[in-house]
Amino acid sequence: MSRDPLDLTALRRDLLAPAGPLARLDVVEESGSTNVDLVDAVRRAPREWPAPAALVAEHQTAGRGRAGRAWETPARAALTVSTLLRPRVPAAALGWVPLVAGLAVARALDASGVEARLKWPNDVLLPAAEAVPGFGAFRKVAGLLAEVVPGQHVPPAVVVGVGLNVAQAADELPVPTATSLALAGVDADRGALLAAVVRELVAAVGRLAAAGGDAGAAGLAAEYAARSATLGTRVRVELAGGATVVEGQAVRVADDGSLVVAAPDGERVVTAGDVHHLRTA
Q: How confident is the model at residue 64 (pLDDT cuts 50, 70, 90)?
A: low
Provide the pLDDT for residue 63. Answer: 64
Same fold, 8-227 and 234-277: no
Distance CA 167, CA 74 (A): 9
The SS3 of residue 126 is strand
- Is residue 65 scored above 90 in pLDDT? no
Measured CA angle at 229 (ends 95, 148), to 5 deg: 20
Task: Report which of residues 262 and 68 the model is more confident about.
Answer: 262
Is the pTM here over 0.75, yes or no? yes
**What average pLDDT does this structure show over 256-279?**
94
* Enclosing H/E stretch for 236: strand 234-238
**CATH fit for domain 234-277, picks 1.10.3720.10, 3.10.450.50, 1.10.1370.30, 2.30.30.100:** 2.30.30.100
For CA atoms 32, 37, 39, 40, give the dihedral sign.
positive
CB 124 within 8 A of CB 116: yes
Output DSSP code: residue 164.
E
**What average pLDDT does this structure show over 168-192?**
93
Digit-coded pLDDT (tens) for 121-162: 999 999 998 888 888 889 999 999 999 998 878 888 999 999
Digit-coded pLDDT (tens) for 113-130: 999 999 999 999 999 988
Provide the pLDDT for residue 129. Answer: 82
Measured CA angle at 62 (ends 58, 63), to 5 deg: 75
The SS3 of residue 263 is strand
For the chain, the structural domain boundaries read 8-227, 234-277
Query: What superfamily in CATH does domain 8-227 come from?
Result: Bira Bifunctional Protein; Domain 2 (3.30.930.10)
Side chain identity, residue 235: V
- Is residue 14 scored above 60 in pLDDT? yes
- Is residue 215 scored above 50 in pLDDT? yes
CB 44 within 8 A of CB 36: no
Q: How confident is the model at residue 281 (pLDDT cuts 50, 70, 90)?
A: very low
CB 236 within 8 A of CB 247: yes
Q: What is the mean pLDDT of the chain?
A: 92
